[in-house]
Structures are given as structure tokens and as C-alpha cells.
Amino acid sequence: MGREGRLVVRMTWKKICVAACVLVCLIGFSGNAAVADDVLKMATTTSTDNTGLLDYLAPAFKADTGIELQWVSVGTGKALALGKNCDVDVLLVHAPASEIKFVQEGSGVDRTELMYNDFIIIGPPSDPAGIKGTSVKDALGVIAAKKASFASRGDNSGTHKKELELWKHAQLVVPDKETWYIQTGQGMLNTINIAAERDAYTMTDRGTFIKYESNWKGNPPLVILVEGDASLRNQYSALAINPKKCSNVKYDLAKQFIAWMASAKAQKFIGDFKLMDKQLFTPNAK
């Protein structure tokens, strides 16, 4: 390559570099740079997000209050930890015992019960352990005695906490190290999928199960075996992060969100939210 040739190469390189930089900057800094007016950050559980409930409620909330709701969906354990670290403004979770502890510690305020559904135990239709229609206590007893595969969330989520409570209730040791006890460490739908692959039983909230049914167009590989026990109630509540502990949280917005969720209008929205013609959550704000 002669000297002139090299010069030309250099020129094209320069041009390419400049063009690339311009393009990159355009992509990098364009778009919805408009800063949202009022943003409320919420940590919530996988069930409210996976079922699509929040996608359905957030636009209505924005229309009424002008507040944009942004949420991260994690297990209830992590949601509470994010709250404790002042990383979010409000929580929507379902582990009453942990929530009450959270309030007593002074991390949360204004705990308000909003809605409930219930937990169910599902499993393969062949029901190898024969738990169909029994009580929760008996079902867990039989599963443990027969060493039937059981998938657990194992992630400190609300559902996981509930499951641990039920083992305790049935006066059984949590089968932590048993080979038939599969701790997935993942979200509810993932755990159901794992249970389906392994022909295992698992416990889920009804909302997520209906979503699962609708994914399978009403013909899921796992079916409901135990339901309706009083101990299976699943209460969802909202909590604001204590502004005295976290000075930078948007407490006024959090308060507005909780009030809106408990309002007659939002409660009706929640009751009307259906998948496959089935109601997922029952509103019960006082």
C-alpha cells in the first residue's frame, strides 16, 4: 500500500468512526429521555406480576393520580429486603407474619390488606401418593411417608414461607435434604414447570395456577388435588416504607397508592380481573 493509499484508508476510517460515534450517540441518548413526573417504585411478588394483574392496574392508577408505577417482581423475602435497604417506596406482598415483623421493626408503616386468593396443592393427574381431596395435613403426611416428589420454591418467598408453615402445622420436619424434595429457588411458574417435568407435587397460589392453565389452553399437565382448607388462605397487603427510617422514600406517593388500591374503584378492578373466565384475586380491603 502506497503512502497515498494509506492516507485514503485513514480518511475512510475516520469517516466510519465519526459515523459510528454519531449513530451510537443517537441510539444511546435518544428515546424516552423525558423524565417521568412522579415515579413510585414498588417491590412485589412474582404472582402479581406473572398473572398480569399489575399490567392491568398500573395504567388506571396513572390515569387517576398521574403517578407512574414501576415495579420489580421478586420473592416476598427479597421484596422485604429491598424495602429494608430503602431501595423501593412501597411493597405489595403476601407473607402476613413477616410483614407484621417488618412493621414492628419500624421498617414499614400503613400495612393495608388488599386482596386474597388461596393456595392449592397440585400434582400429576395420576396422583401417585393418593392425596386428592384430603386435608393439607394428611396430604403432606402421605407425600413425606411415600417419598413422592415435591417441588418447593425454596426462595424465601411468600409461597415458600407458607409452605414451611404448613409442614410445621402438620407436625412434620421440613424435608430439607430429602432427595424427593426439589427446592427450585425460582419463581412460581418456573417451579410449576419443573414439577411438571419431574411428575412432582407442588404448592402454588391459585392466581398463578390459573395463568398456568391458560398457558396450556385449559389442559395443563398438573391438576388441583388439594384445595379449600382454611389454612391455605393467601392474603396480599401493601406496606409503605417508613419515611423516618428511609428519608429518601416517596412516602406521600406510597400513601396515595395504598389508598387507591383500597378504594372501591380499584377493588372492583381487582375483582373483575379474570383469566379463562376465572377470578384470580378476591378484593378484601376494609
Query: Where does this chain bind another protein (CB under 8 A)?
Result: 9-10, 12-13, 16, 24, 27-29, 31-32, 41, 46, 50, 55, 70-73, 85-87, 186-187, 189-190, 192-193, 211-212, 215, 246, 248
Using alpha carbons only, give the angle 39, 188, 277 rounded to the nearest 5 degrees: 85
Nearer to another protein, 73 or 76 (CB): 73
Contact 115, 258 (CB under 8 A): no
Distance CA 43, CA 85 (A): 12
What residue has cell string 392496574? 57
Whole-number Å distance between alpha carbons of 50 and 188:
9
The rounded distance, in Å, linking the Cα atoms of 25 and 169 is: 59
Angle at the Cα of 69 from the Cα atoms of 208 and 249, rounded to 5 degrees: 115
For another protein, the closer of residues 85 and 263 by Cβ is: 85
Joined grid coordinates for residue 213: 392453565
Q: Which is nearer to another protein, 170 or 275 (CB)?
A: 275
Least distance in angstroms from the C-beta of 124 to another protein: 17
Cell of 61: 392508577
CB of 38 to another protein, least distance (A): 14
Closer Cβ to another protein, 16 or 145, answer by number: 16
Q: Which is nearer to another protein, 212 or 281 (CB)?
A: 212
Nearest to 89 by CA among 66, 62, 65, 67: 67
CA distances for 89 relative to 155, 188, 262, 265, angstroms:
23, 24, 17, 23
Phi, psi angle pair for 156, to nearest 5° = 65, 20
What dihedral do alpha carbons 263, 267, 270, 271 form, nearest 10°?
-170
Q: Please state, in angstroms and rounded to a whole number, the distance separating the CA atoms of residues 215 and 65.
A: 33
CA atoms within 13 A on the CB side of 49: 19
Would you say 148 or 240 has its CB closer to another protein?
Answer: 240
For the bound state, the minimum distance from the C-beta of residue 267 to another protein, rounded and expressed in Å, comes to 23
Residue 36 or 145: which CB sits closer to another protein?
A: 36
Q: Closer CB to another protein, residue 107 or residue 256?
A: 107
Radius of gyration of the chain (CA): 24
